[in-house]
Structure 1
Amino acid sequence: MQESIVSRRRATARRFPRRSAGMLLAAPMALLLFAAACGSDDDSGSPTVDPSAAANALGPVDRAAGAPVKIGIISDGRGAAVDNSVQFDIAAATAKWLNEHHGGIGGRPIELVTCETQGDPGKGTDCGNEMVEQDVVAVAVGESGVGDAVAQPLADADVPVMFYGLTTPALLNDPTTFTVSDPNFAIQQLPIAIARQENLKKVTSVVIDVPALLYNVEELAPRLMREAGLEYQLIRVPPGTADMTAQLQGAAGGDAGIVFVVGNDSFCISAFNGLRAVGYTGKISAISQCITDATRKAVSGDVLKGMSVAASMPLGGDDPSTILYNAVLETYGQGIDATSSAARGMFVTFAGLATALEGITGDITPATVTAAIKAMPEKELPGAGGLKFRCNGKASPDSSAVCVRGGLTTTLDGAGQSTAFEVLGSSPIPD
């Protein structure tokens, strides 16, 4: 496999202008929504896979041959706030697996063209432009804080791009943009599904008050809750609020239904402890970023026990998707942390793109790749814990780019650790 590493901005003029940094205010929240799957912050290490299980998971040998097909890989890589450079390592390992066991793309070997944004919107736009200039046929992007900046030049050039997650409404309706996570699951569909399971009539959302969330919690959530027959209450709390008892007094009377918390871990710690302080004893749920080692230390185990939490992916366990992922890491990777959510997200996205292109024939161009992605039948999403995907524009009535319905959830034990992972909110995507 040939590999072209493109991680610097060129001095030549760009085909598309940079987007203002002011347009990327949603970036920190986008990262928050696609965060770790509730494992301990101290988890680390490489997988140990039974050789026969690994061989079965990897599939029969089917080596690619002929002229390579250029696939772009864009990651924030290593920046001031985050280090996702492992995404390049997992992309290389995934390409080797695909080239040896899945005939690459259309029988031809995958050649990676990579670009690092460093979490900077300008560099994100540069990376999108770079992929156009390098004539890639498609691009895969894992979790990114500058996804909008990456997506726009690719959308303008009609180069298909598969994201792990994207939240901007306009891009979620672009005809060559696709995402392998449900943008409505973590904040809307999860509390709706839990309320139905628990036979509750109301969802009370306690949400960190940042602009990036306003569309989700003030426009989208009320409609979805109403359609689900649920009463909806929104409690917006400014970031950095240490004592939330005043805001949460309304939850003490027992009519809150399920309380759903959205924020980073320090925000969620204040919310969980505030709910306990006002005497709330009902059901609590949260997004995955709420649960870190800091949360486990600061919040009582009896509050965490039984809490339902959104999970981006099933880190750990022995489900078939994890066996496959670990087999790829052990066979083709070197020193890749099996518990890294950033690595797993890139694997899901890149392997999902390749799965969508199974059976493609003839000329492989951005146009034929887009057509193949849209024509694919519903399939299991590799590495995603049993989630299925289909990119025909019908997974979400509001967002044609969405390829997945529902997501994963886990229930915490008394130590605040995840137990089993469950697919929730999923249903077949129609023709």
Structure 2
Amino acid sequence: MTAALAVSTAACAGDEAADSGSGTQQSSPSATALTPETLSTITQYTGVPAGKATGQPIKIGFINADSQELTIATDEAIRAVNDQLGGVKGRPIQLVKCVAGSPEQAQQCAQTFVSDAGTVAVLQGTIDADVTAFHTTLSPKLPVLGGLPLAVADAAAPNSYYLSSGQFGGIGAVTYAKDYAKARKVAILSPAGSPANELAIATLQQALQAVGIKVTIARFPLDATDMTAAINQSEAASADLLIPAVGIPQHCVVLSNSLQKLAVYTPVLTFAGCLGADVRKTLGDYPRWNYLGFSVSAEASSSDDLTAWQVRAFNEWFKPMENRSVTRNGAVQMFQTVLTLVKILSAIPGDGITPASAGNAMKKFKGPVFLGVPTLTFGGVPNMPAIGSLASRVYVYLGNDGWRDTTGGKWLEPPVLNLGRQGQQGQGQQGQGQQGQSPGQNQSQSPGQTR
């Protein structure tokens, strides 16, 4: 699916908490001390005893767009690991950050990382640019670990590993429509004028029709201030489910207002891009829709004890960031990525943590992901070796910060369909989806996605 159909985790402009370019992590006060229960929950996952990390640092690159959210979350996750969670087998992580807002900058960041003989791996946040050259430069030298792939170049990279399917798991909406909404007719709304978006919508339409669901599609202008015509054209009022491909605040607000004006109460399934502060500020609250995503919700209850403990641990760590322009969605993405990195590197025998051993360990990592999918199989999705799982989750917003797990603790696998068309070339957040087969995971437990 395109970025319009993806979980949008990129924040707005950066602030003083984010570096303006390459450099090592800046020193700052230690994070709030975590409780013994939280320390136990996290170290049980990473396999590293709690305590302050000492000794020779392990150098890790970090690339992100010029935004404050993921940088703050990554800094705080690294700080907690180094100060309280034992580092990587007792060694602290030295984070070397690089900002990329263009393909050229992304490639320059990659060149900076590979030119430093001490760097063993790279963490990837969100890059709003073509990452083809970035991966081409890195893949022979350094492995990449990321939470959310946005481009086809991410999914196809031979030495990169992503802990969720990102935009490529959006086809899980078909499973939700069929098995949970019991839909016979689905209405789809999409912004007009994007070839990549058209491919994604065509893929979704074919997948829905392949499982016997009737589909009606309508498009609205990118600068739409009212979606009445598109809603009516889509026949949303008579559909069993409405799937709007909206991912920017303007479209989310306009859609919500237009549905209310028309008194259309068809259940909505959309993506977490509508869960930003701008949407809430304009509407007074988030729309009471179903949201598809790819990690555990830190705001909905879980019947699974282990997951419930992980949610408690995350929320305790996250609390100091509540007033720092960091959403739980972005924080979960980077928290789970950092902890997974620690778990993977700490399992490498002896002291020989090198780019080669790190990449090999990432490729063989089967999960689970902290606050994420229970199993991963890298190389299991055709044409997308960097994607370890296509599973997704759905949560419904009840209003007043209340959430309910719509899928009852189950992960959604996309249907195994031969749609006869794989994804085409895409760039940055304009990358489009590919229809690939599931890697054959059995993911019947553990909860779902973050805001």
Q: Into which bin does the TM-score normalised by the smaller protein fall?
A: 0.7 to 0.9
Partner of 2:103: 121
Partner of 1:393: 379
Q: What residue ranges of structure 1 are gaps of 5+ in the alignment?
A: 1-25, 37-46
Work out which of the residue numbers 338, 348, 353 in structure 1 matches 2:336. Answer: 348
- The whole-number CA distance in structure 2 between the counterparts of 1:213 and 1:244 is 21
Q: Contact conserved, 2:88 with 2:345, CA < 8 A, in 1?
A: no
Partner of 1:211: 194
Partner of 1:268: 252
Partner of 2:220: 237
Partner of 1:21: none
My pick for the range that moved more, 146-155 or 244-253, is: 146-155
Task: Please state if 1:409 is matched with 2:409.
Answer: no
- 1:210 to 1:195, Cα distance in 2 relative to 1, 3 A: farther
Q: Contact conserved, 1:31 with 1:145, CA < 8 A, in 2?
A: no
- The whole-number CA distance in structure 1 between the counterparts of 2:183 and 2:110 is 45
Work out which of the residue numbers 158, 165, 178 in structure 1 matches 2:161. Answer: 178
SS of aligned partner of 1:348: helix
Q: Contact conserved, 1:378 with 1:429, CA < 8 A, in 2?
A: no
- 1:376 to 1:85, Cα distance in 2 relative to 1, 3 A: closer
Work out which of the residue numbers 363, 369, 373 in structure 1 matches 2:362. Answer: 373
Q: What residue ranges of structure 2 are gaps of 5+ in the alignment?
A: 12-30, 44-48, 302-307, 414-437, 442-451
Q: Contact conserved, 2:120 with 2:358, CA < 8 A, in 1?
A: yes
- 1:315 to 1:103, Cα distance in 2 relative to 1, 3 A: closer
Task: Please state if 1:322 is matched with 2:311.
Answer: yes
- The whole-number CA distance in structure 1 between the counterparts of 2:275 and 2:326 is 19
After superposition, what is the alpha-carbon deviation per residue over 1:10-32, rounded to whole angstroms, capped at 9, x for unaligned? xxxxxxxxxxxxxxxx8x75986
- The whole-number CA distance in structure 1 between the counterparts of 2:33 and 2:393 is 24
Letter matched to residue 97 of structure 2: T
My pick for the range that moved more, 287-296 or 61-70, is: 61-70
- 1:270 to 1:63, Cα distance in 2 relative to 1, 3 A: closer
After superposition, what is the alpha-carbon deviation per residue over 1:188-210, rounded to whole angstroms, capped at 9, x for unaligned? 31353144212112332212235
SS of aligned partner of 1:388: coil
Partner of 1:140: 123
Partner of 2:424: none
- The whole-number CA distance in structure 1 between the counterparts of 2:34 and 2:361 is 35
- How do 1:274-285 residues align onto structure 2 when only pairs under 5 Å count? 274-285=258-269
Q: Contact conserved, 1:72 with 1:112, CA < 8 A, in 2?
A: yes
Partner of 1:13: none
Q: Contact conserved, 2:53 with 2:87, CA < 8 A, in 1?
A: yes
Letter matched to residue 392 of structure 1: F
- The whole-number CA distance in structure 2 between the counterparts of 1:50 and 1:364 is 28
Q: Contact conserved, 1:172 with 1:401, CA < 8 A, in 2?
A: yes
Q: Contact conserved, 1:30 with 1:167, CA < 8 A, in 2?
A: no
The Cα shift of 1:367 comes to 2.2
Q: Contact conserved, 1:87 with 1:346, CA < 8 A, in 2?
A: yes
Work out which of the residue numbers 49, 74, 78 in structure 2 matches 1:92. Answer: 78
SS of aligned partner of 1:33: coil
Partner of 1:33: 8
- The whole-number CA distance in structure 2 between the counterparts of 1:429 and 1:347 is 25
- The whole-number CA distance in structure 1 between the counterparts of 2:54 and 2:280 is 50
My pick for the range that moved more, 247-256 or 345-354, is: 247-256
- The whole-number CA distance in structure 2 between the counterparts of 1:412 and 1:334 is 19
SS of aligned partner of 1:272: helix
- The whole-number CA distance in structure 2 between the counterparts of 1:321 and 1:187 is 25
Identical residues among aligned pairs (%): 19
After superposition, what is the alpha-carbon deviation per residue over 1:339-373, rounded to whole angstroms, capped at 9, x for unaligned? 45433322222222333344212532222222211
Instruction: Count matched residues.
Output: 381
Letter matched to residue 399 of structure 1: M
- The whole-number CA distance in structure 2 between the counterparts of 1:334 and 1:293 is 12
Task: Please state if 1:225 is matched with 2:208.
Answer: yes
Q: TM-score normalized by structure 2?
A: 0.70
